[in-house]
Amino acid sequence: MQTPIALLKFAEIKYLEDSINNNYLFFNKIEYFSNKEKEDYRFDSYEGADEIIQSNQIKKLLINDREFDLAPKSSPVKIFYGNNENFTHICCLSLIYNSAIEIENKQRIFNPKLFEFGDSFLICLKISELLTNIDVICKTHPNIIKWKIDTVEYVDLKNYNGSWDVFHKPENYAYQTELRIALQMNIASTFKFNIPNLDTYFFKTIKKENCKNKIENGTAYF
């Protein structure tokens, strides 16, 4: 497994500056990511599902003792049991690894498509320290019931059968190289997770127009 060298948080500059100035990471409700009326990069119709089954493996449905034949489908069947480990809030970040990405014959640090999430990003080089601190805060936070910090696994939906959670996504999202912090909370709104001295972890904000995003002679230029 590759070791990440940096952790990036993409958003609009005004939100990143507010985050740093007020020492918090922003968590959206899980429903935000599964908005089925949206079809762009941020919205995944599989978000919130509990299991994925290939449609060619399901021939009939049995509901209240009534049988229904299923017509062949090209896409997998999403099953929602309504638990999905009961995570309610998610914060998404992108991991950068010590390897170049070849895009349009250029050596890149990350896929420029990540700017779809905002016009700027924060850089964190103290990844383990940040995640350890988040874990410590979660243990004593009165509104956090359960939490998990992990990378996202990107899978081929044409061949995948099995359990599904907020740490699985279709492989077309693999360029996002996500690390997710998932919380189960007893609050209904979005959440600002307070982290004292956040600027000691995220030391720099870079706007898209000032971003080099290249590797030359073994040096990475953000």
Whether 56 is covered by a domain: the verdict is: no
Q: What is the pTM of this model?
A: 0.82
pLDDT at 15: 96
pLDDT at 68 over 60: no
Whether 61 is covered by a domain: the verdict is: no
Whether 89 is covered by a domain: the verdict is: yes
- The residues facing 66 across adjacent strands are 63
Stretch 12-22: mean pLDDT, rounded? Answer: 96
Whether 18 is covered by a domain: the verdict is: yes
Whether 70 is covered by a domain: the verdict is: no
Mean pLDDT of the chain: 84
Whether 191 is covered by a domain: the verdict is: yes
Whether 8 is covered by a domain: the verdict is: yes
Per residue in 98-113, pLDDT (tens digit) is 887 888 778 899 999 9
Stretch 150-155: mean pLDDT, rounded? Answer: 94
Q: Range of 208's domain?
A: 4-48+85-221
Stretch 69-96: mean pLDDT, rounded? Answer: 72
Count of other CB atoms within 10 angstroms of residue 212: 12
pLDDT at 175: 93
Per residue in 33-66, pLDDT (tens digit) is 766 445 555 556 666 566 666 656 556 666 666 6
Whether 62 is covered by a domain: the verdict is: no
Number of domains in the chain: 1
* Parallel/antiparallel/unpaired status of strands 120-124 and 4-11: antiparallel
